[in-house]
């Protein structure tokens, strides 16, 4: 089934036109069929109420709830707004009892088509899921901890050839922060020689996002398999871990009342990996990498804990850890403490410390102009602190197309740092 879904594209150039046509046709259908018992004036008023609802929901989501630090963005709201307007139109139309069940079924189908159109448009903008196969999980094979420790002969032979991704629970020493399940890529060399010491990449996703995104959207298993094949099966262990706790949480990669995320990434994760895998104890063999707010977090960790991580990849990260603006970030994210904010802001930290042994790559999408400006400021601060840093740009915007290409391109640089 998954193989068939690979033939259903979602990022072709005609997708936005199909999405717009679905939305437009469904709105017309609701206007003509579902709202038939209503007068033109009543129908028009429902549209006006729908637009007002969009404005109210926008204000509540972006300025009160604020689930995403950078905001959902104008394009997301452009695609999502018709669904809200249609919901009001449907509600108004179904207040009349005439042929209610038939009109309800028509309204439900039309609204679902609008939702599909919105999803297609948003997905295209963010260049996320390339086909339907990725939407349903991409057929990515992972194994449990028990399967790792108790393999049969056939499975062991396959892992020596290809490596494996294992699902693990890396606990936090803090009772407030509850990380989601991590995913650890183990190269073929781990199975061929389980005692050989290997370097580590701790990999972070953005927000909203899950560790699974690196497998499905970032194609991490394929990238690592190709890399390992070019080096006789040797590659770093890659631990994709959670720095947020949920899709909508953003504890800003710091130790605050919202949880001790800094301690989790800098102490708990390395400790667990050292206890369970033959990983190096040399900080020069450890790197931390992330995308978007995960990229910000990667640099936060690298500046706070150079004794643990000497290399970093900041892919499309923010200039500063933030929840919309500095005032809100300090009051809500850092318990009102400007000192705590400064201690977790890489740009400010790099002004007070030297990092002559640290190196990293800062990258962005060529069309991601708002993030590029901030990352140039980050690069200047890193250079001034003594870091060895370079910048790279990739075709695209703030999207998985960029991050997948960035990690694949920067992996050999990390391998050179590790001495692989």
What does DSSP assign to residue 131?
Answer: B
Q: How much is the pTM?
A: 0.88
Q: Which CA distances in Å does 93 have to 28, 33, 41, 89, 296?
A: 13, 9, 12, 6, 47
What are the backbone dihedrals phi and psi of residue 190, each rounded to the nearest 5 degrees, phi first?
A: -65, -40
β-pairing verdict for 255-256 and 259-260: antiparallel
Q: What is the mean pLDDT of residues 391-410?
A: 96
pLDDT higher than threshold 90 for residue 62 = no
* 150 contacts: CB under 8 Å, gap ≥ 6: none
Q: Residue 298: what are its φ and ψ, rounded to 5°?
A: -60, -45
Q: pLDDT-derived band of residue 99, with 50, 70 and 90 as boundaries?
A: confident
pLDDT of residue 71: 76
Averaged confidence pLDDT in the chain: 93
Nearest Cα neighbor of 87 from 32, 30, 38 is 30
Q: Are 287 and 201 in contact (CB under 8 A)?
A: yes
Integer angstrom CA distances of residue 176 from 66, 106, 134, 325, 344: 21, 46, 32, 25, 19
What digits encode the pLDDT tens for the residues 178-195? 999 999 999 999 999 888
φ, ψ at 252 (rounded to 5°)? 60, 25
More confident residue, 333 or 6: 333
Closest residue by Cα to residue 210 from 400, 18, 39: 400
Residue 369 CA, chain-centre distance (Å), reads 19
Q: What secondary structure does DSSP assign to 317-332, as a single string?
A: --SS--SSSHHHIIII
pLDDT reported for residue 221:
94
Report the range out of 60-69, 188-197, 310-319, 325-334 with the highest average pLDDT. 310-319
Distance CA 73, CA 119 (A): 14
Per-residue tokens: 163: 């490596």
Q: Give tens-digit pLDDT for 110-163.
A: 999 999 999 999 999 888 888 898 888 766 889 999 999 888 888 888 888 889
pLDDT at 159: 87
Local confidence band at 1 (pLDDT 50, 70, 90 cut-offs): low
b/e string for 7-30 if b means 16 or more Cβ within 10 A? eeebbeeeeeeebeebbeebbebb
Mean pLDDT of 354-368: 97
* Cβ atoms 128, 217 nearer than 8 A: yes
Q: What percent of the chain has pLDDT over 90?
A: 79
State yes or no: pLDDT of 321 exceeds 70: yes
CA-closest candidate to residue 253, choices 226, 283, 213, 290: 290
Q: How many CB atoms lie under 10 A from the CB of residue 234?
A: 20
Q: What is the mean pLDDT of residues 326-337?
A: 91
Contacts 24+ apart (CB under 8 A), 53-59: 53/84, 53/85, 53/87, 53/88, 54/81, 54/84, 54/85, 57/84
CA distance 28 to 30: 5
pLDDT of 255-300, one tens digit each? 999 999 999 999 999 999 999 999 999 999 999 999 999 999 999 9
Tokens 């936090």 sit on residue: 172
For the record, the structure tokens of 360 come out as 């990293």
Q: Is 190 left (phi over 0), alpha (psi -120 to 50) or beta?
A: alpha
| Residue 123, pLDDT score | 93
Instruction: Give the containing element (helix H, strand E) for 300.
Output: helix 293-304
What would the pLDDT profile of 211-236 be if each residue is shown by its tens digit?
A: 999 999 999 999 999 999 999 999 99
Q: What is the pLDDT of residue 205?
A: 96
CA distance 158 to 156: 5
pLDDT at position 370: 85
- The 10s digit of each residue's pLDDT in 13-57 is 999 999 999 999 999 999 999 999 999 999 999 999 999 999 999
* pLDDT range class, residue 100, cuts 50, 70, 90: confident
Kind of pairing, strands 164-168 and 311-315?
A: unpaired
SS3 content of the chain, % helix, strand, coil (to 5): 50, 15, 35
Whole-number Å distance between alpha carbons of 73 and 315: 19
């Amino acid at each position: 089934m998954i193989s068939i879904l690979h033939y259903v594209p979602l990022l072709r150039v005609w997708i936005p036109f199909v999405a717009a046509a679905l939305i437009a046709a469904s709105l017309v259908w609701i206007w003509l069929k579902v709202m038939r018992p209503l007068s033109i004036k009543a129908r028009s008023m429902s549209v006006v109420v729908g637009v007002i609802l969009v404005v109210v929901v926008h204000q509540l989501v972006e300025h009160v709830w604020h689930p995403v630090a950078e905001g959902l963005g104008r394009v997301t709201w452009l695609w999502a707004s018709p669904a809200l307007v249609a919901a009001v139109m449907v509600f108004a139309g179904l207040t009349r009892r005439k042929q209610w069940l038939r009109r309800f079924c028509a309204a439900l189908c039309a609204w679902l088509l609008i939702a599909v159109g919105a999803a297609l448009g948003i997905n295209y903008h963010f260049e996320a899921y390339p086909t339907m196969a990725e939407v349903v999980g991409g057929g990515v094979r992972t194994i449990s901890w028990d399967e790792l420790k108790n393999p049969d002969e056939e499975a062991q032979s396959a892992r020596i050839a290809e490596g494996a991704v294992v699902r693990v629970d890396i606990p936090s020493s803090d009772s407030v922060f509850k990380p989601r399940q991590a995913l650890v890529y183990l190269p073929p060399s781990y199975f061929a020689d389980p005692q050989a010491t290997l370097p580590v990449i701790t990999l972070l996703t953005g927000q909203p996002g899950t560790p699974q995104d690196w497998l499905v959207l970032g194609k991490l298993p394929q990238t690592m398999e190709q890399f390992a094949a070019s080096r006789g099966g040797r590659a770093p262990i890659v631990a994709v871990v959670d720095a947020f706790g949920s899709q909508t949480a953003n504890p800003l990669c710091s130790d605050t009342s919202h949880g001790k995320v800094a301690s989790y990434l800098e102490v708990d994760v390395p400790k667990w990996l050292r206890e369970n895998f033959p990983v190096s104890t040399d900080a020069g063999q450890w790197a931390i990498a992330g995308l978007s707010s995960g990229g910000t977090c990667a640099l936060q960790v690298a500046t706070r804990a150079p004794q643990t991580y000497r290399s970093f990849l900041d892919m499309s990260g923010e200039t500063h850890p933030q929840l919309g603006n500095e005032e809100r970030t300090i009051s809500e994210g850092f318990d009102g403490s400007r000192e705590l904010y400064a201690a977790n802001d890489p740009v400010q930290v790099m002004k007070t410390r030297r990092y002559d042994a640290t190196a990293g790559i800062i990258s962005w999408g060529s069309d991601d102009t708002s993030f590029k400006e901030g990352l140039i400021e980050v690069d200047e601060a890193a250079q001034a602190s003594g870091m060895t840093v370079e910048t790279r740009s990739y075709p695209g915007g703030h999207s998985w197309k960029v991050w997948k290409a960035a990690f694949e391109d920067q992996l050999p640089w990390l391998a050179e740092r590790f001495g692989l």
